[in-house]
Structure 1
Amino acid sequence: MSKDQRNMKPNLKTLVILVSFAVVLIIKVNATTGDYIRPPPRRNLQFPWSPKHSSHPQQVHISLAGDKHMRVTWITDDKSAPAVVKYGTSPGKYNSLAEGESTSYSYLFYNSGKIHHTVIGPLEDDTVYYYQCGGKGPEFKFKTPPSEFPITFAVAGDLGQTGWTKSTLDHIDQCKYDVHMLPGDLSYADYIQSRWDTFGELVQPLASARPWMVTQGNHEKEHIPLIKEAFASYNARWKMPYEESGSNSNLYYSFDVAGAHIVMLGSYTDYDQYSDQYSWLKADLAKVDRERTPWLLALFHVPWYNSNEAHQGEGDDMMASMEPLLYAAGVDIVLAGHVHAYERSQRVYNGRSDPCGAVHITIGDGGNREGLAHRFKNQQPEWSVFREASFGHGELKIVNSTHAFWSWHRNDDDEQVRSDQVWITTLRNSGCIAEKGHVMRKILLGP
């Protein structure tokens, strides 16, 4: 071998190593992302100050409040403004009036405006109502959900107030949905209370027109030991129908809409078998009539089934306590947030695929400022069907008493792209509930 050949040999070896590394890298990238290049996070939105009359209603949003009733919530700077809502089925013609309650809160150096909650009704199903908050000011309108199938839910968690949040909200606005469900992490105020105000203004166009049903996440906690209780801001601003559903806490409740019973649970309040939430959930599920509400859904913030590197194991304790209750009751779909990515499972229970378990969907990708959770575990669990770290929202259309169509819409720049979809069949007529009847009676009703 010549001197030149000896000098060339290590160079060829190095070249082979580099080429092999490049090929592996290309394969890995393609396997993870395909042809889609995920966009970077966007900055927080800016909200220029816009002076308003002190009695002008701000941050208007609505939520379901029991059978054929709606809760209207808004804020005024005027502390003496009345908590009244005028409403009717024709623009500018209000033949009904309801009076509610008002509250406010202080948080360190921040003082909220007057927060008004007024329940109106009884209302007709699938009907457009026009309403006015406080007896004067602009007119708003909303549409009540239908009384029967089909019904469509928009779902987006971990919203925040970024450019991607606005993109998500714009896409949801294009969806012909009846109810918005948000599994925690709303404003990302994180102790800065003015961010609650800007979030309320950001979502008002949508939240004043369709009911928003929310539950709390970790960013709602805002606990200051010995100074401020957890969830003070959240509870004051986003009152949900907990009293109407027999709960003693705004952090967990349930509601019926069309033919679905939906349980909203709290990942950040006690959930062990000795807790109030556990006792309430057991009693709530025991009352479910699958003939009247053939679909059974659950929402909470921290996912129980998660193959992302982010927030691994954080839902294990709640899962150990409450999953047997949901399984015994035959819950069809579980929706969660917290992990800033999308993932959909097979029907699953106790850590593995189970035809009688629930479909678990993580959808914590609404547009928050913390960005996406890009890293999934290399070994995809057998129960995991589809996973992707992209901003987006979900749509659940329950077509009838047996079938529902779920789709996830990725934010591709500023266009929505349907990236995952599946038909889901309810467990009501599957035989699962009958097979688990004795288990359900034992768990839900006691020995």
Structure 2
Amino acid sequence: MKTTEQSVSPIDRTRRTLVASMGGMAALGLSGCGGGSDSSNPEAGGTTPTPPKNNGNDPTPPVDNVVPDIPDTDLYPSDGSHPPRGVHASITGDPHTSRTITWFTDGLEPPLSFVRFSQDSSIFDAQGNPRVPLEHSVTSEESDTFGVAAKTHRATLTALDPELPIFYQVGSDIGGWSRIYTLPPLPTEQWTFVHYGDQGTTDNAQKLHAELLRHPKHLCLIAGDLSYANGDQVIWDLWFDQNEPHMASTVTLAAPGNHENKDGALLESAGGFKTRLSHPQPDISVVASNPGSTFYSFDINRVHFLVSSAGAVIEDFSLPEELINMEVDLSKAALRRLAGEIDFIVVVQHYPIWTDQEGRSPANFTLVALQEQILVRYGVDLLLVGHDHIYQRSAPMFYGIPNPQGYVQVLAGTGGASVRLFDEAPQAWSESEFVGIGFVTYDVEPGRIRANFWGAGPEGLDDSSRQTVTEAFSIRDSFEVHKRSLLSAREHAVLPRDKSEILKNYALVAYDTKQRNHRDEHEC
């Protein structure tokens, strides 16, 4: 149906002051660039679209089941010489019994660092302070952080009790400790994830972060263009600092976008993304194996997720491998769906295939040739994307034509980097549009996914006021996706094609993809 802070040690204060000042300048630059083309200005001969209707006035969500973070503690005194920062959680193994924690320290010779953790809530007093140190410890592995004199630390917690929350902090007795964060357990039947892209470090991005903290969730998927560092690694630091409260308490996984590709060249393309994040490793891996993989897949309960670069980092020579991986992975998933092991197949990437954003409609024809025939062949249920700074949801479709056997594209490039406009007339596949910032929540249960887009609109739609978001977040779109019929599941359960067929037009596809990426380097 169509619907319409944590404390900062003295030794780190100078660095963060520099980060904040540079981030502020970046935020101003993004707002100006993200304002949209002059064609939206009536004086330039264009038209200003009518604001989309608010399709719901739902109250703010309940937060009773949010497990609070634990206050700071003095149980671990230190000299504060290497304070951990940018703490974030992800999964690289079993989503129920393991978690991977990642963080950074400045300098190239950090002390031996750890994750301390417990699943025993009885060790905390009434104020949430631990009476004794957290009893378990895992030593981190360290690696270089791209483009900056810092180290990335990773530690994976295993053999966790899947029914209990995880209380943890990171650091060292010498260098300093983070506060204690809480990760909720992952239910096996009903659970929730969120999706958005194109965040940056603007005021609107921080409004989105504050709203995310109010919504209970078990997984966060970011559809590319995370920090808008564009090669400036100090902006990556700012972005991780701003988002640590949410990302340290929510399992977070991401796809790379065109702005990630501006860090490094060739094999170092997306170097900031690859060295700062932690993801599952792809089954097929020759040149793309790294902790922050740019394509990978994983299961959570009865949902299979495939994260794709969509060609955003083609310069690192991984795209042919990724396309073969995509074909094999989705074929396996379709066969497993027919066997009753999973209910849904979800693909996450930065670029949308079809769009009505002003200046980019009607489609990303590079991806029509590169990907869409793969998505249609294996019956992908949801395609979650960003890139265009609008919210737009499709009907089930393929090749731009509504079709009940097709995939639903959910475009939420609404993370706060900027606010853009629509073309005057949405295409026939479009079922909901919104101008503003926001994110989508997906409540998953066996056989059904119920989704809500939580959006906040701007002061106005003209270039001078569109980047100022003044509305409160509320539900602006709601929809459901149901498990495919047995007949549909059987139709899409087919074997993967030979790699020679998949890559037969690769030279042309690669040329078109590089041309698209080059154009995007000059756009926000």
1:435 Cα deviation after fit: 2.7
Mapping for residues 235-250 of structure 1, pairs under 5 Å:
235-242=274-281, 245-247=283-285, 248-249=288-289, 250=293
Query: Quick one: which of 140, 158, 164 aligns to 2:198?
Result: 158
Greater shift after overlay, 230-239 or 123-132?
Answer: 123-132
Aligned to 1:396: 442
* Unaligned ranges ≥5, structure 2: 1-46, 56-78, 125-129, 458-469, 502-524
Work out the CA distance in 2 between the residues paired with 1:128 and 1:141: 10
Q: Which has the larger radius of gyration?
A: 1
Work out the CA distance in 2 between the residues paired with 1:116 and 1:135: 12
Work out the CA distance in 2 between the residues paired with 1:285 and 1:393: 26
TM-score after normalising by structure 2: 0.69
Residue aligned with 1:262, SS: strand
RMSD (Å) for aligned C-alpha atoms: 2.7
1:165 Cα deviation after fit: 0.9
The answer to whether structure 1 residue 77 and structure 2 residue 106 are counterparts is yes
Aligned to 1:262: 305
Sort the Cα spacing of 1:141 and 1:359 in 2 relative to 1 into closer, same or farther, 3 A: same
1:224 Cα deviation after fit: 5.3
Greater shift after overlay, 142-151 or 161-170?
Answer: 142-151
The answer to whether structure 1 residue 251 and structure 2 residue 294 are counterparts is yes
Q: Give per-residue Cα distances to partners, 1:143-182, cap 9 Å, x unaligned.
A: 2452422111111210111111111111111111111110
Judging by fraction of residues, say which structure has more strand: 1
Work out the CA distance in 1 between the residues paired with 2:54 and 2:140: 53
Sort the Cα spacing of 1:33 and 1:357 in 2 relative to 1 into closer, same or farther, 3 A: closer
Mapping for residues 192-231 of structure 1, pairs under 5 Å:
192-223=232-263, 229-231=268-270
Query: Conserved in 2, the CA contact under 8 Å of 1:128 and 1:141?
Result: no
Q: Give per-residue Cα distances to partners, 1:81-100, cap 9 Å, x unaligned.
A: 22421211135443332223
Residue aligned with 1:76, SS: strand
The answer to whether structure 1 residue 420 and structure 2 residue 420 are counterparts is no
Work out the CA distance in 1 between the residues paired with 2:275 and 2:169: 21
Query: Conserved in 1, the CA contact under 8 Å of 2:52 and 2:433?
Result: no
1:270 Cα deviation after fit: 4.2
Q: Give per-residue Cα distances to partners, 1:111-133, cap 9 Å, x unaligned.
A: 23221011111222242111121
Work out the CA distance in 1 between the residues paired with 2:329 and 2:138: 29
Work out the CA distance in 2 between the residues paired with 1:299 and 1:70: 21
Query: Conserved in 2, the CA contact under 8 Å of 1:65 and 1:241?
Result: yes
1:365 Cα deviation after fit: 0.8
Query: Quick one: which of 310, 330, 347 aligns to 1:285?
Result: 330
Q: Give per-residue Cα distances to partners, 1:58-110, cap 9 Å, x unaligned.
A: 11001011113211101112522224212111354433322232112453xxx
Aligned residue type for 1:366: G
Query: Conserved in 2, the CA contact under 8 Å of 1:328 and 1:433?
Result: no
1:297 Cα deviation after fit: 0.6
* Unaligned ranges ≥5, structure 1: 1-27, 37-51
Work out the CA distance in 2 between the residues paired with 1:324 and 1:114: 41
Work out the CA distance in 1 between the residues paired with 2:191 and 2:215: 12
Greater shift after overlay, 120-129 or 388-397?
Answer: 120-129
Query: Conserved in 2, the CA contact under 8 Å of 1:83 and 1:118?
Result: no
Query: Conserved in 2, the CA contact under 8 Å of 1:392 and 1:410?
Result: yes
Ranked by relative contact order (alpha carbons within 8 Å, sequence separation 6 or more), the top structure is 2
Work out the CA distance in 2 between the residues paired with 1:273 and 1:329: 22
Aligned to 1:114: 151
Q: Give per-residue Cα distances to partners, 1:260-299, cap 9 Å, x unaligned.
A: 1111100213499981001111222233222222121111
Q: Give per-residue Cα distances to partners, 1:341-380, cap 9 Å, x unaligned.
A: 0000000112211111110010001101xx2221x23332
The answer to whether structure 1 residue 441 and structure 2 residue 468 are counterparts is no
Mapping for residues 48-127 of structure 1, pairs under 5 Å:
53-67=80-94, 68-78=97-107, 79-90=109-120, 91=124, 92=130, 93-105=133-145, 107=147, 111-127=148-164
Greater shift after overlay, 265-274 or 280-289?
Answer: 265-274
Number of aligned residues? 393
Work out the CA distance in 2 between the residues paired with 1:181 and 1:149: 19
Work out the CA distance in 1 between the residues paired with 2:114 and 2:455: 40
Residue aligned with 2:205, SS: helix
Aligned to 2:218: 178
Sort the Cα spacing of 1:32 and 1:150 in 2 relative to 1 into closer, same or farther, 3 A: same
Identity of aligned residues (%): 21
Work out the CA distance in 2 between the residues paired with 1:347 and 1:314: 16
The answer to whether structure 1 residue 361 and structure 2 residue 410 are counterparts is yes
Query: Conserved in 1, the CA contact under 8 Å of 2:344 and 2:483?
Result: yes
Work out the CA distance in 2 between the residues paired with 1:106 and 1:417: 38
Sort the Cα spacing of 1:273 and 1:87 in 2 relative to 1 into closer, same or farther, 3 A: closer
1:232 Cα deviation after fit: 1.0
Residue aligned with 2:396, SS: strand
